[in-house]
Amino acid sequence: MTVLIDRIRLKSADQREPFMRWVREVDYAACQDLPSVQRFRVFECPGGDGLDFFEIVEVSSLSDFKADTRSALFHGLHARFVEMAELGDQFAGQLLEPGFERRS
């Protein structure tokens, strides 16, 4: 599995609430229809020195994800995203197995 991490900056401070609402109501729900996306989470960074949010996207493979980015659904999501925000640094990697996760 490949992990993609994107740094996100809002175009203006008044976009914070609309962006968070859009992520929760539209972006998260749309991932069900992007077959390559296995897990998707967005994190808020209050006081992040120019970084408002970052997202972690776990995908089955980069090639599968690239195929998903050519879909009409992805293009619609991207069009709305760029109205509110812009991507900063992006990077991808593979987990150094096994990792650690606390389960309570």
Minimal CA–CA distance to 87: which of 63, 57, 40, 53? 53
| Residue pLDDT, tens place only, 54-87 | 999 999 999 999 999 999 999 999 999 999 999 9
Q: What does the pLDDT read at residue 42? A: 98
Q: Please, what are the domains in the chain?
A: 2-92 (3.30.70.100)
Amino acid at position 69, single letter = T
Task: Please tell me the distance from the alpha carbon of residue 7 to that of residue 12, in angstroms, as a whole number.
Answer: 15
| Residue pLDDT, tens place only, 41-57 | 999 998 767 799 999 99
Q: Kindly give, in sequence order, each residue whose CB lies less than 8 Å from that of residue 88, ignoring residues fewer than 6 positions away.
A: 6, 7, 8, 9, 50, 51
- Looking at per-residue pLDDT, the higher value among 37 and 47 belongs to 37
User: Does the reported pTM lie above 0.85?
Assistant: yes
